[in-house]
Amino acid sequence: MNPLSYLLAPVVVAYTFSMGVLIVYLGNMVYLALLGIHKQKKLRIDNSKLSVRSVTDILPFVTIQLPIYNERYVIERLIDACASLDYPKHLFEIQVLDDSTDDTKEIVANKVNQIKQKNINIVHLHRNNRSGFKAGALANGLESAKGEFIAIFDADFLPQPDFLKRMLPHFENQNIAFAQARWGHLNRDYSLLTLLQSFALDAHFAIDQLARSTSNYIFNFNGTAGIWRKSAIQDAGGWQADTLTEDMDLSYRVFLKGWSAYYAGDVEAPAELPVSFTAYRRQQYRWARGSLECAIKYIPVIWKSDFSFAKKFQATLHLTGYLLHLLAILLMLFYPLLLSFAVQYPSLLEPIGIGLLLNALVLLPAFYFTVAQQLLKKGWLFSLPLIFLMSMFASGMVLNTVRALFQIAQKRIVPFERTPKFGITHRAQNWLGNRYQVKIDYLILFEFALAFFNLWTAWFAFQLGYYLMMMYAFFFAFGLFFFAGFTLFQAISARFFHDVKPDSA
């Protein structure tokens, strides 16, 4: 008997289980997309009602917090944008929460002095240590914040002048803890990387945030471009730094405390997308690890709460969404084993999902991203080729994400690392000679190895005549080669520029 035969049963069971979990996650994406289509009508009705109200009688005092760390290329434009908000000067203050260790500190000090001359209440709060990182900076600013409401903007955002006036009316509902605006993109067309990122973020906001917020599910504050009720922050225990996503962490605590929140999808806050592959890797690692840390922290609490089953189930999928990348790696490993078994058992692959079911599954992410573009009234039809590319592109991130899972299991402490911004808003700009370059790491070697492994799987499937599996293995290989290859290319290109100061945090 073939020694591999002893592995047949456990591999088939494990593969079937993985496929079942994958179907649940992808099926939920379709459910949220359909829900988003339905709920967008409610959002339009709510906004039309809101637009006829007078906001002049509901203008509270607002504290605008700008948490920054080494942002020499973008901080001045952010401060200028906040100082230009269409809101009574005596009803807002700006806190620049500055943990910088480079010349950003001096740039901020000079800009703050300029803004003060316009009779705008602005303070520069610089910390000499980064205790608690962003969460620590926000908590430190909250101690002296005078506002009943706290607006937060990261350094890469440019709030529109009417941001406060359009967001604050949603707090007429006294149970609203925070209101989140939709992110726009200042440099969407800068490169293929920024364009693909825009598809992913559009889907998150136009579908996920909309569907969850209008269906009484838990959804999260996205860390920036939103407003918090100060009393809700305090009631939930304040900002905490024990996860890498302090925004998601606080969001779940306020929901568990009985608060609700509002997604203001009609309010767009433009922001700069990462143009560097290494910076994007850092961002996605932080988001993945922080989400999984929150999952470990809150899923047991959620299932013990009095939330409805649907709310608990959706919260679980929301917090564990990055496990899709683990499932992708498992499929990569299962494919050659299944092909080896198929040599002896030719009919094996038919009943366990390699067939029409997988044909449908591969289309579901594309459907999800397409719906998002349609909801935002963007040209989805001409974007279809790029949307399919987006689905393949995601496979290039799997090792980057799964590393976070293994490091959590190892209880390895990883500091908060911000995503560098370079002030890039149009294609003519170059950033490779700027400071804050993120060093390339050894992980790309494993990505190249996994890409070649998938190419071998594709060849193996071709030899056996399993062309559908060949196609999936090739897609995995393409995504890994794309991501690892461009990361390496950018890193080599940066070597040819001067004044490059690697980013250490």
Q: Is 189 a catalytic residue?
A: no
Instruction: Write out the E strands in 70-120.
Output: 92-98
Catalytic residue of the set 99, 202, 249, 503: 99
Residue 247 annotated among the catalytic residues of the structure: yes
Angle (CA) 358 34 323, round 5°: 50
Which residues have CB under 8 Å from 87's CB, separation 6+?
Answer: 59, 62, 164, 165
Of 154, 208, 247, 249, the catalytic one is 247
Quick one: which of 20, 404, 36, 453 has its CA closest to 214? Answer: 36
| Cα gap 184→267, rounded to integer Å | 9
Contact 158, 270 (CB under 8 A): yes
| Other beta carbons less than 10 A from residue 238's beta carbon | 14
Q: Say if CB 91 and CB 165 are below 8 A apart.
A: no
Residues 135 and 242: their CA atoms lie apart, in Å, by 9
Distance from C-alpha of 57 to C-alpha of 352, rounded to nearest angstrom: 62
Neighbours of 98 (CB within 10 A): 24
d(CA 358, CA 441): 34
Q: Which residues are catalytic?
A: 99, 247
